[in-house]
């Protein structure tokens, strides 16, 4: 069994809640399924769960370099120079990243509002980019955008490998 879940902000990639963060059990009541890859509580979007150990390892293990696509709202305006840096790969404190595919985008009309909303500063604009990576380091996308001078305000994983969020409202899941 493979499940795609559109994880809301504030939900951990585990079934038990911890501190101020909710757990998956608030949304998914299926015994025997486990998360295939993580998505931090302050990030939203595609989370896959399965009851198949080899499939879980294939999705989560960085050796398989499964592509993940992120829609990222950043503080500041996305520039071609920043996109070029991200596309070549950037150096983080734990070493260089692999090259990414990066492009400036506009969010789709069906993008759900985040609860709570992001912080906004009236004198600092925000913009969006799409970033496709094949790694999964801790908070990698946030660190990559910060390295190019664009701090992340909102991070939504939209695709993992061949699986997308298409037609899946936030907080809901569907068996694939």
Mark whether 40 is an active-site residue.
yes
Q: How many helices (H) and strands (E) does the chain have?
A: 3, 11
Residue 84 corresponds to which tokens in the numbers above?
A: 């070029």
Q: CB of 136 within 8 A of CB of 68? A: yes
Answer yes or no: are the C-beta atoms of 99 and 136 closer than 8 Å. no
Residue 101 tokens read as: 């595919």
Please report which residue ranges of the chain form alpha helices under DSSP H. Answer: 53-60, 80-88, 140-147
Give the active site residue among 26, 29, 40, 94: 40
**Which positions are annotated as active-site residues?**
40
């Amino acid at each position: 069994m493979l499940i795609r879940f559109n994880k809301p902000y504030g939900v951990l990639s585990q079934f038990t809640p911890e501190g101020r963060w909710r757990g998956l059990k608030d949304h998914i009541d299926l015994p025997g399924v486990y998360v295939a890859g993580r998505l931090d509580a302050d990030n939203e979007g595609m989370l896959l769960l399965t009851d198949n150990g080899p499939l879980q390892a294939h999705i989560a293990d960085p050796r398989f370099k499964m592509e993940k696509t992120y829609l990222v709202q950043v503080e500041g305006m996305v520039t071609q120079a920043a996109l070029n840096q991200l596309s070549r790969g950037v150096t983080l404190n734990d070493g260089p990243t692999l090259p990414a595919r990066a492009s400036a985008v506009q969010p789709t009309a069906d993008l759900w509002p985040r609860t709570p909303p992001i912080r906004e500063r009236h004198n600092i604009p925000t913009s969006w980019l799409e970033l496709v990576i094949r790694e999964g380091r801790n908070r990698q996308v946030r660190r990559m955008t910060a390295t190019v001078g664009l701090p992340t305000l909102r991070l939504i994983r939209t695709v993992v490998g061949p699986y997308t969020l298409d037609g899946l409202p936030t907080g809901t899941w569907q068996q694939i």
